[in-house]
Amino acid sequence: MMAQIVDRKALKAQMRSLLHTAQVSPKGFTALYLILTSALNLVDSIAGGTESGLLGTFVTVLTSLLGMILGTGFVLYCMAIRRGERAEYLTLFDGFSFVGKVIGLNIVMYAFVTLWSLLFVIPGVIAAYRYRFALYNLYENPGIGIMEALDMSKQQTYGYKGQLFVLDWSYFGWGLLASIPSLTLIVPIARSAADMVFSGQFFSVEEALAAMPHFWGATLLGSLWSLAVQLFYLPNYQCTELGYFEIAKQTSGVGFGSVSGGHVGGSSGPDDLGGLDGWNSRF
């Protein structure tokens, strides 16, 4: 069955209404998720500024892996909302139950996208959208293999890559709003730190930033502002993307709970990412 044009605005509105029915507060759950991920980023920043070599690398890898697990829990929470089920706050840590596959799939996806990006930017972008639903397939059915999840995503995203691209851009304003403190406060401070390195006062930008108390204040302010902004759009964005995932499963007949040849309301249309239908057979 061919891909269908998703009514993005209607789906967003539907998800906003659905979030109001959640048995566990979406804002509360999202706040917990963002606070923990911000704490991980802070630990990584401190380690990067005070530690070097193997220990600093270890901290970066560890915080990145923990961030993957928390991201898994957040998506599982949103999936539960879409199913009308109750998901407790501890759902945020459910990714630990299949942590090996979560990490493995993320690594394989990153490797594939990086390899395609070496050819040119556009193939890398298309590859990223090609594998967009791979993690969702794994979350719904942890028993499948990594390559199986990727292959399912390839079939599901056929005809939807362009629509997913438009979905991402529709939230660009929110992302820009969340980054205002970084653009107005942190970037100038980072430039000052770079100047201090060039003048020989410090050996690295990280050391210079660590010695600037107002940098940490600006970072805290930026994190709090970003957290507040994301509370308003992140749950809706994630649930809306999962809506695309559900539609793609039904139209492709691929995925947990899909019906081969199933029909979901909408009009059919080609992959609208620059009309690159020819790329679909390559990624």
CA atoms lying within 13 Å on the CB side of residue 168: 11
What is the predicted pLDDT for the residue at 72? Answer: 98
What is the predicted pLDDT for the residue at 274? Answer: 38
What is the predicted pLDDT for the residue at 4? Answer: 92
Query: Which of the given ranges, 139-153, 199-213, 260-274, has the highest pLDDT on average?
Result: 139-153
On whether the pTM is more than 0.75, the answer is: yes
| Residue 265 zone, left/alpha/beta (φ > 0; ψ -120 to 50; rest) | beta
What is the predicted pLDDT for the residue at 104? Answer: 97
pLDDT band at 197 (very low <50, low <70, confident <90, very high): confident
Whether the Cβ atoms of residue 196 and residue 208 lie closer than 8 Å to each other: yes
What is the predicted pLDDT for the residue at 260? Answer: 60
Per-residue pLDDT at 262 exceeds 70: no
Whether the Cβ atoms of residue 68 and residue 106 lie closer than 8 Å to each other: yes
Task: Give the count of beta carbons closer than 10 Å to the beta carbon of residue 230.
Answer: 19
Mean pLDDT rounded to a whole number for the chain: 86
**Whole-angstrom Cα distance, residue 236 to residue 230?**
10
Per-residue pLDDT at 199 exceeds 80: no
**Whole-angstrom Cα distance, residue 142 to residue 131?**
17
Token reading at 153: 């995503």
Per-residue pLDDT at 161 exceeds 60: yes
Beta bridge partners of 31: none
Per-residue pLDDT at 90 exceeds 50: yes
Angle at 192 between CA 189 and CA 197, to 5 degrees: 130
Per-residue pLDDT at 37 exceeds 50: yes
Whether the Cβ atoms of residue 273 and residue 161 lie closer than 8 Å to each other: yes
pLDDT band at 270 (very low <50, low <70, confident <90, very high): very low
**Whole-angstrom Cα distance, residue 103 to residue 116?**
20
**What percent of the chain clears pLDDT 90, i.e. is strictly above it?**
63
What is the predicted pLDDT for the residue at 218? Answer: 76
> 219: closest CA among 262, 181, 255?
181
**Whole-angstrom Cα distance, residue 174 to residue 229?**
7
How does DSSP assign 64-88, residue by residue? HHHHHHHHHHHHHHHHHHHTT----
Per-residue pLDDT at 154 exceeds 90: yes
What is the predicted pLDDT for the residue at 49? Answer: 59
Least confident span in 161-165, 200-204, 225-229: 200-204
Q: How many Å from the N-terminal Cα to the C-terminal Cα in the chain?
A: 20
Q: Indicate the angle between helix axes 213-252 and 146-156, nearest 10 degrees.
A: 70
